[in-house]
Amino acid sequence: MSMNSSTFTLAHGSLLCELHLGPNQDLLIGADDLEDFYHCFRVPSKYAHRNHFHGVFPADLFRGWNAWSPDLEGKQVVGCFNTLAMGTSYAVEIARHTHTNLLRRAGLLSTSQQVCYRKPLPRSDVLQLLCIDDLAVLQKVPRGIPAESHKVFRRDIDLLDKVGDAYKAVGLRTSSKKSVRNQSKATILGGELDGRRGTICAPRLRILMLSKLTLRLVEIGWTTKLLLETSIGSWIFVLMFRRPLLSTSLMMFSTKEPI
């Protein structure tokens, strides 16, 4: 078994560049985000001990916390993260693997609908995008049909309702602030999607601010290596939604000749 096999099925908004909407179709968007997903894991004490915070603290600082014990009175302590810590080895793989298995065991994640890296976009009217703690479900519907209409079976709403029940059964909860239902416009997994016009791009506000920062760097005429790498990485994200420009930029960055 490969440790990173789960990350091969990650989804990103840019994968929807392959999506085709017919002249008589709209796309409706639904999505949920798990709250504090990494904090819901239970780990052995040996694992927790290796996830310690930097520094030594007076134990009295933690009086009233769940971790407090009278035995700690007057002692110096090191704080340990008693769950899955973001940034630890294989944290993404473990979280992704767990979320995937939860949905598959509940019969709510279909390989014929799942959008993944390195795979063709499914030829389905319903698409599922799973990325660590985020789940988006999209459905093609006849153009102009009201979102509340019963003329079309809303598989996306049905799936998200059942997914919510599956989450509750294992003690997980979704964020009400990030919940999306019956929307034709939404930003999901990094992509700003318009299901009526049939367009997708990086969030336009992010593009605007990145353009202003890049122009300022050009005006200054110099930058640090770290800032340059950050700027280029941010533009790569934007250009993932513009495939020809991404190909051109990668050729420019990979050449050994001065540009």
- What is the model's pTM? 0.81
Mean pLDDT of 230-238: 90
Segment 115-172, tens digit of pLDDT: 998 889 999 999 999 999 999 999 999 998 887 788 889 999 999 999 999 999 999 9
Q: Is the pLDDT of residue 252 over 60?
A: no
Are 98 and 37 in contact, with CB atoms under 8 Å apart? Answer: no
Q: Is the pLDDT of residue 68 over 90?
A: no
48, 143, 183, 225 from 91: Cα distances, Å: 13, 41, 32, 29
Q: For position 259, what pLDDT does the model report? A: 44
Q: Which among 112, 89, 97 is positioned nearest to 37, based on CA atoms?
A: 97
What stretch of H or E contains 157? helix 155-169
